[in-house]
Amino acid sequence: MPVWCGASPEFWEKLKRFTGIQDDEALRVRIGDDFRRVRPDPPPDPRPLPPGVHRRTVFGIERTGLGYGQPVGHPLAGKTVADVHAYPWPDPAAVDISGQREQAAAWHDKYAILGGDWSPFWHDAIDLVGMEELYLRMYDEPEFVDAVMGHLVDYYFEVSRRIFDAAGDVIDIFFIGNDFGSQTGPLLSPGLFRRFIYPHLKSLADLGHDYGMKVMLHCCGGFEPLLPSMIEAGVDAVHAIQPCCAGMDLATLKKRYGRQIVFNGAIDSQHVLIEGTPETVRREVRKVLEIMMPGGGYIAGASHDYILEETPAENVLAMFDTVFEYGRYH
């Protein structure tokens, strides 16, 4: 059974202390992680950050708060289509891709290599415009939303194209991420998804396929009603399935879509991994494997790509060890 591990830096350091394994690669081998990821750093921004701001994205969005944080403002709120086109969009050529091939080649033929730009264009559009205004303008001024999304995806497309030109033969999976779901269902209707998201998702999926790669989309929440469009757009795998969210019943997903798309994740990190014991984790992992393994098309891992620091290390090891023991095809 293929195994996936995604963890926050804080949890990763905790797991190092717990296991006594200080080398990152040795710890991934201990877990059995079958994936390795390469991605470029964002271009440097020499401008000083204002007080209270801890980072600035490549699109000029300043953020504050814990971790990735929240935007302190929305630069394109209330703006016109002309303003969107005049906005100082970043230059894809400023991204340093010089180390991508060397990194990927070091793991090639040993693991599945993830590459390309993360491309969170939905998140960036929300940050640039504001979530409520973005939704309203989907109805009132769709050409404005098209302009914003177009500039965002043009940038991400070109960054990834440059990466793939340099290292596409040693990258297996184009890994992108946009959260289209919440605990209670999709963040936008299938109709709005089809109108505003699908064309850009298909463009990115086509790019990966043009270089002979599979395309995996990270998407949180209850997004089941959007899955048919994701599949039609060319997405080959979705990560990381959250069974506690509305519409994400594992047996239903497997029956309905298991022959059309690969599911990655599905072992509950919201409750089981955080609140359980090693024994309850082992029981739940076996239940998930019984549902998701038949016929293939499943990668075992936590139901989120970022295992949090408060998760007991012994529970995470119990998850991976149980997958190793029972996640075997005969």
- Chain segment 192-248, per-residue pLDDT in tens: 999 999 999 999 999 999 999 999 999 999 999 999 999 999 999 999 999 999 999
Tell me, what's the pLDDT at 44? Answer: 87
Distance CA 316, CA 306 (A): 12
**CA-to-CA separations, 250 to 25, 33, 244, 254, 315, in angstroms, rounded:** 31, 22, 10, 6, 21
Contacts 24+ apart (CB under 8 A), 105-113: 105/167, 105/170, 107/36, 108/170, 110/36, 111/33, 111/34, 111/35, 111/36, 112/2, 112/34, 112/35, 112/36, 112/172, 112/173, 113/35, 113/36, 113/37, 113/38, 113/170, 113/171, 113/172, 113/173
Other C-beta atoms lying within 10 Å of the C-beta of residue 326: 15
Percent of the chain with pLDDT over 90: 95
> Residue 126: which pLDDT band, with cuts at 50, 70 and 90?
very high
Residue 68 confidence class, pLDDT cut points 50, 70, 90: confident
Packed helices 313-326 and 278-292: angle between N→C axes, nearest 10 degrees = 40
Partners of residue 56 on adjacent β-strands: 62
φ and ψ at residue 6, rounded to 5 degrees:
-125, 130
| Residue 66 clears pLDDT 90, i.e. is over it | no
109 or 199, greater pLDDT: 199
pTM of the model: 0.97
pLDDT at 241 (0 to 100): 97
217, 241 Cβ separation under 8 angstroms: no
Task: Please compute the mean of the pLDDT values over residues 165-188 and round it to a whole number.
Answer: 98
2 burial (CB, 10 Å; 0-12 / 13-18 / 19+) is middle
Helix (H) or strand (E) holding 114: strand 112-115
- pLDDT level of residue 317 (50, 70, 90 thresholds): very high
pLDDT at 204: 98
pLDDT of residue 142: 98
User: How sure is the predictor about 91, in pLDDT bands with cuts at 50, 70 and 90?
Assistant: very high
309 within 8 A of 275, measured Cβ to Cβ: no
Cα–Cα distance measured from residue 21 to residue 245, given in angstroms and rounded to the nearest whole number = 34
Using pLDDT thresholds of 50, 70 and 90, give the confidence band for residue 67.
Answer: confident
Q: What would the mean pLDDT of 73-96 be, rounded to a whole number?
A: 97
What distance lies between CA 142 and its chain's CA centroid? 26
Question: What pLDDT sits at residue 132?
Answer: 98
- Cα 228 from Cα 306, distance rounded (Å): 26
Q: Whole-angstrom Cα distance, residue 264 to residue 283? A: 19
What is the tens place of the pLDDT at every residue in 11-41?
999 999 999 999 999 999 999 999 999 999 8
CB of 260 closer than 8 Å to CB of 289: no
Is the pLDDT score of 83 beyond 90? Answer: yes
Distances 143 to 147, 193, 195 between C-alpha atoms, Å: 6, 15, 11
The answer, yes or no, to whether residue 125 has pLDDT greater than 90, is yes
- List of domains in the chain: 9-326 (3.20.20.210)
**8 in helix, strand or coil?**
coil
Residues 255-279, mean pLDDT to the nearest whole number? 97
Average pLDDT score over the chain: 97
Query: How confident is the model over 123-136, as a mean pLDDT?
Result: 98
Q: In the prediction, which pLDDT does 62 show?
A: 96
Query: Which pLDDT score, from 0 to 100, does residue 39 have?
Result: 92
